[in-house]
Chains A and B, each alone.
Chain A
Amino acid sequence: MKVFHNYSITEAGSKMAKLEISNKIRKLRFDNDEMTQQELAKKAGITRQTIVAIEKGKYSPSLELAFRLANVFAKPLEEVFSYQIKEDKKQEKEK
């Protein structure tokens, strides 16, 4: 499984653990007759700028938008977005 872009946000409730969220929107667009970002944006009811930001990992969408995007590709959410809990370097050093 190829991950296109990764980014991490601090997971609520844990001190140092990072939540690394990745998405396969770019690949799914390509698989869906090379759907353009503008087309996807229109179908999901958002701007193209937001699609670009999500693909680049610069923006983590809300749960509702994540479901809407998954719905456009007719895929379950976990096939579009995935996450991985990563320990912070500081925490790793402590261990």
Chain B
Amino acid sequence: MYYQEKKTIATLIAGVMLLAAYCIYVFQKYQSGVIDMANDLKFWASTMLIFMGAGIVITIIILIVFHIINAIMTEVSKGEQEDPLVEDEMDKLIQLKATRNSYIVVGVGFVFSLVSLVMQMPLAIMINTIFLSFLLGSIFEGFSQLFYYRSGIKNG
């Protein structure tokens, strides 16, 4: 497995961890029944802001750990380290296509959030749909990258 694929997996792990942590946290709050979850927008906004910040921190930590482990492993196994800083045209093209795919997921999520408003669902549904579509979009971006690295990508 190559450096870019491993890096993508590390980022994916961070994304999945964040999604799981958010779902578990919200589910616990829902079960406790302390807050009016359907209408308390302040609760949702603060929760999402905290998770966005935590997501950035988790991703940075995971990438640092990944770089350390990767450097040790490649040094031990090969004796010659591939320059990880090189990002060539194929990497950029794959990144571009993966980002496009993630925008599609976010776009669909946004449409669903509008539909939820039209159907007179609580605002919490709308705000959660948008937040989750961003999270799923970033996970989908990672999977897209892995897919393109494995299956190949054609110019034009």
Residues of A whose CB lies within 8 Å of any CB of B are: 7, 9-10, 12, 38, 42, 45-50, 53, 56-62, 65
A12 to B156, CA, bound (A): 8
On whether the beta carbons of B86 and A46 are closer than 8 Å, the reply is: yes
Cβ contacts under 8 Å, A61 to chain B:
89-90, 155
* Interface residues on chain B, number (Cβ under 8 Å): 20
Residues of B whose CB lies within 8 Å of any CB of A are: 2-5, 80, 82-83, 86-91, 149, 151-156
On whether the beta carbons of B153 and A46 are closer than 8 Å, the reply is: no
Select which of A7, A45, A47 is within 8 A of B82 by beta carbon: A47
On whether the beta carbons of A53 and B152 are closer than 8 Å, the reply is: yes
A23 to B80, CA, bound (A): 28
- Name the distance in Å between B2's Cβ and chain A's nearest Cβ: 4
On whether the beta carbons of A48 and B82 are closer than 8 Å, the reply is: yes
A60 to B155, CA, bound (A): 6
Of A42, A48, A58, the most chain B CB neighbours within 10 A belong to A58
- Name the distance in Å between A77's Cβ and chain B's nearest Cβ: 15
On whether the beta carbons of B91 and A47 are closer than 8 Å, the reply is: yes
A79 to B99, CA, bound (A): 35
Cβ contacts under 8 Å, A38 to chain B:
80, 82
Select which of A7, A42, A47, A59 is within 8 A of B4 by beta carbon: A47
Cβ contacts under 8 Å, A59 to chain B:
90, 152-155
On whether the beta carbons of B88 and A47 are closer than 8 Å, the reply is: yes
Overall SS of chain A's interface: mixed
Select which of A7, A48, A62 is within 8 A of B2 by beta carbon: A48
Cβ contacts under 8 Å, B2 to chain A:
47-49
Some 25 contacts from A to B, beta carbons below 8 A apart, are A7-B154, A9-B155, A9-B156, A46-B90, A47-B3, A47-B4, A47-B82, A47-B83, A47-B88, A48-B2, A49-B3, A49-B5, A49-B149, A50-B89, A56-B152, A57-B152, A58-B151, A58-B153, A59-B152, A59-B154, A60-B155, A61-B90, A61-B155, A65-B88, A65-B89
Cβ contacts under 8 Å, B156 to chain A:
9-10, 12, 60
Task: Determine the residue in chain B with the shortest Cβ distance to A10.
Answer: B156
Select which of A10, A56, A57, A62 is within 8 A of B89 by beta carbon: A62
Select which of A45, A57, A62 is within 8 A of B155 by beta carbon: A62
